[in-house]
Amino acid sequence: MPGYSQNNIFFKWQRTVVRFYLDGFRAMTVGKALWKIILIKLFVMFAILKLFFFSDYLHTNFSTDQQRSDHVLEQITLQSKIQAVEDKK
């Protein structure tokens, strides 16, 4: 296309997609209430439950970043080794 670079086409496409979704959300009636409920549930699940039920395991049990990263790497590789053994059965 003469006069258009790859970036101009991308940004024009991006604006079109954003306008499409914004117009769709503006036209919603029941959907707005449902999205509010969904966002409240997500907030409760990730913010409130984390505060009360999920401790900061790595920070409380390991003092340095190196120890934390070693533990995470060990757990990830341990799980993959267990999975490999189970797959062979």
Same domain, yes or no: 76 and 50: no
Residue 77: which domain range? 55-89
- pLDDT value of position 67: 94
For the chain, what is the domain count? 2
Q: Are residues 33 and 76 in the same domain?
A: no
Tokens 């790595």 sit on residue: 58
Same-domain check for residues 68 and 48? no
Describe the crossing of helices 6-27 and 30-43 by its angle, rounded to 10 degrees. Answer: 100
Confidence check: pLDDT of 13 > 60: yes
Q: Are residues 20 and 35 in the same domain?
A: yes
Q: What is the pLDDT of residue 55?
A: 74
User: Residue 5: its pLDDT value, please?
Assistant: 63
Same domain, 28 and 18: yes
* pTM exceeds 0.75: no
Q: pLDDT tens-digit profile of 44-71?
A: 888 888 888 777 888 889 999 999 999 9
* Pair 16, 44 in one domain: yes
Same domain as 49, residue 6 = yes
Residues 12 and 9: their CA atoms lie apart, in Å, by 5
